[in-house]
Amino acid sequence: MKNLNKILLGAGAMLLLANTGCKTTLDEVPYDFYAPENVYKTAEDAEAAIAGVYSDFNSYDWFIKPYWEFLSEDEDHISGAGFALNNIGAGNFLGDYKTPIMFQGPYAVIARANTVLERVPAINMDKTRQNRILGEAYFLRAFSYFTLVRLFGPVPLRTASVASIVDTNIPRAPVADVYKQIIADLQQGETLMPYQGEPGSGTLGHVNKGAAQALLAKVYATIGSGSLKGAQVTVQGGKDNAFTTYAKDVVAGYEGFDSKQYYQLAKDEAAKLIASNKYALFPNYMDLWVKANDNSVEHIFMEQTLAGNNNQMNEVNNYFTSGDRGGRAYLWMDPNFYFQFGQFDDRIQKGVTHVWFEAYDKSQPNLKYYHYFPRADSAKYRIVSINTKPGATPVKGDTTLASYSNKPQILKYYSPGKPVAPFNDDGNRAPINYPLLRYADVLLTYAEAETELNGNTPDARKYYLQVRRRANQAVTVAQDPLLDPSKLSQLQLRSAILAERAQELHFESNRRFDLQRWGVYLQVMNKIGVSRQNINKARDPRTLLVPLPVAEVLANPSVTQNAGW
């Protein structure tokens, strides 16, 4: 395992020395590396050390692009250009640059977190501050293992820095053991960290007690759903966008868990965060995507970025938004998924671009070719052309340059105020923080857990409806019967909550994991087969788990490759 060991040795022996007087995590970019035994002396060293863990977490070697790109490509609700989907998007995980990063990136973070957890306790410093730093390290290690176990299944458990162990060729631990470590780490983080804004809390953008509770609820619900036996769930999709009821599979590795026990734990953990009153839904859905609202109200944990910084910026605007909004729209909402929303749902009425333009001839920036979506609403989007063709007189209502496009492009990651007229801004310099945990997810986790424990109860409906009503404020029950779910069966409410998660959290790296933990990933993807956009969504059993990097399997005699790869 020389490749991974090289990463672990480097990360375990290096410490980020940052300007701890700065106000944000990402202000702490300039750094040098020194042996940890020489620098773990003061509270400032401890702050620099945890900043080093975030530095790897927020780097191109994991979160800046590979994480969200990989998970966006491997699901049923996202379509895109062939070049963007012909590997991961078609189930061809081997050979894509993102696959080894999804394994090595988390381990780099784990290695740094391990060093913090070993070295910081010996520093003579304020105990509250010390505990908070340790809690952040526990959280980041847990988040890393949670990503690894869901993608790769059994993985090596490394809970000591490389400098502290003799043999780095550690075998893969069973799924249950990995979850035991994740839960223990998050419980430690929850105990050690205060909520954001309380005395002793960390820099805005760092994790806190609320993040530990939110992630722990999500972990418990993942185990609860993965181990649930004898259940069914209905999913809308396939070429015909029909509702199909599937008998869910128990996820491999989850067989020994008690589903009810873990759903009760999920409900209890979500209830603690709800009762804290530290978070709330934004009043309006689009408030979520206002830059000034980052790291506040509903955003529990976000990947932090800096504008114009090649090492700490992402390309979500570039990949997901239209050309006249600074992007290139490599990935977009599948049209079938668009039509699963209610007609007046803000998440598509306000969160999707319905008319946009492109300048195919960039030497004539005023010559704009307009497109609209959906076709049925095209009358709303008739364009008065600026120039039908060079030198021509515009005609009111002329739509010769307007055409239907099968690309509903989202506005979650649009960065307003960026120049669009020259058509020369590809959008990848925008400082767009990526949501990793938000309060709506916590509410839906509670609703899911309560539904599985007790069926369709007022508690389950209450938290489900908080999320759905926020996006459908001007809608009546007659227009959307799901706004009164009181008469739904347990199967129907379970399915409605899963669908609501898809609609609320779309393009936030959740859908692939939701299909997998509910044991319907293969069924849902294979019902699509080859999509209308000619993207191969069909999957075989080996794609339930991602292959370990080939170099790591060859180098480490203690690990074996996932079946079929």
How far is it, in rounded angstroms, from Cα 142 to Cα 323?
38
Instruction: Tell me what pLDDT residue 315 has.
Output: 81
Q: Is the peptide bond before 374 cis (omega within 30 degrees of 0)?
A: yes
Q: How far is Cα 460 from Cα 494, in angstroms, rounded to an integer?
A: 10
This prediction's pTM = 0.90
CA distances for 233 relative to 265, 490, 517, 520, 524, angstroms: 22, 10, 12, 8, 11
Work out the burial of residue 422: count CB atoms within 10 Å of its CB; fewer than 13 is exposed, 13-18 middle, 19 or more buried: exposed
How much is the average pLDDT of 95-100?
Answer: 92
Across the range 269-283, mean pLDDT stands at 98
CB 564 within 8 A of CB 540: yes
If you classify domain 2-308+546-555 with CATH, what class do you get?
A: mainly alpha
Residue 252: which residues within 8 A CB-CB, separation 6 or more? 153, 175, 544, 545
Q: If DSSP codes are grouped into helix, strand and coil, which group holds residue 204?
A: strand
pLDDT for 2 equals: 41
pLDDT tier for residue 269 given thresholds of 50, 70 and 90? very high
DSSP, collapsed to helix, strand or coil, labels residue 332 as strand
Helix 209-226 × helix 259-276 angle, to 10°: 160
Q: How far is Cα 406 from Cα 403, in angstroms, rounded to an integer? A: 10
More confident residue, 1 or 473: 473
Residue 426 scores a pLDDT above 70: no
What's residue 401's pLDDT?
55
β-bridge pairing 402-404 and 369-372 = parallel
Alpha-carbon gap, residue 49 to 149, rounded angstroms: 26
Mean pLDDT throughout 508-517? Answer: 98
- Residues 315 and 549: their CA atoms lie apart, in Å, by 25
For tokens 């936030």, name the residue.
Answer: 508
pLDDT (0 to 100) of residue 38: 65
Average confidence (pLDDT) over 550-563: 90
In this prediction, residue 449 carries a pLDDT of 98
| Highest mean pLDDT, choosing among 23-27, 34-38, 319-323 | 319-323
pLDDT category at 262 given cuts 50, 70, 90 is: very high
pLDDT at 402: 62
Residue 367 tokens, joined: 């010559």
The CB density around residue 458, as the number of other CB atoms within 10 Å, is 8
Distances (CA, A) of 337 to 179, 468, 528, 556: 32, 16, 12, 42
Least confident range of 387-396, 405-414, 504-513: 387-396
Q: Give the pLDDT confidence of 129-184 residue by residue, as tens digits.
A: 999 999 999 999 999 999 999 999 999 999 998 665 556 688 999 999 999 999 99
> Quick one: pLDDT at residue 15?
37
Task: Give percent of the chain above pLDDT 70.
Answer: 82
pLDDT at 363 over 50: yes
Q: How far apart are CA 502 and CA 505, in angstroms?
A: 5
pLDDT at 77 over 50: yes
- Per-residue tokens: 35: 């042996």
Mean of pLDDT over the chain: 86
Average pLDDT over residues 529-557: 90
Distance CA(247)–CA(230), nearest Å, equals 7
Pairwise CA distance, residues 457 & 489, whole Å:
10
Query: Mean pLDDT across the stretch 497-518?
Result: 98
Cα–Cα distance measured from residue 355 to residue 50, given in angstroms and rounded to the nearest whole number: 45
| Cα 112 versus chain centre, distance | 22
Domain boundaries in the chain? 2-308+546-555, 316-431
pLDDT at position 19: 33
The answer on pLDDT for 309 being more than 70 is no
What beta strand segments (E) does 72-111 contain?
78-80
What pLDDT score does 534 carry? 82
pLDDT band at 306 (very low <50, low <70, confident <90, very high): confident
The mean pLDDT value for 322-351 works out to 91
Amino acid at 132: R
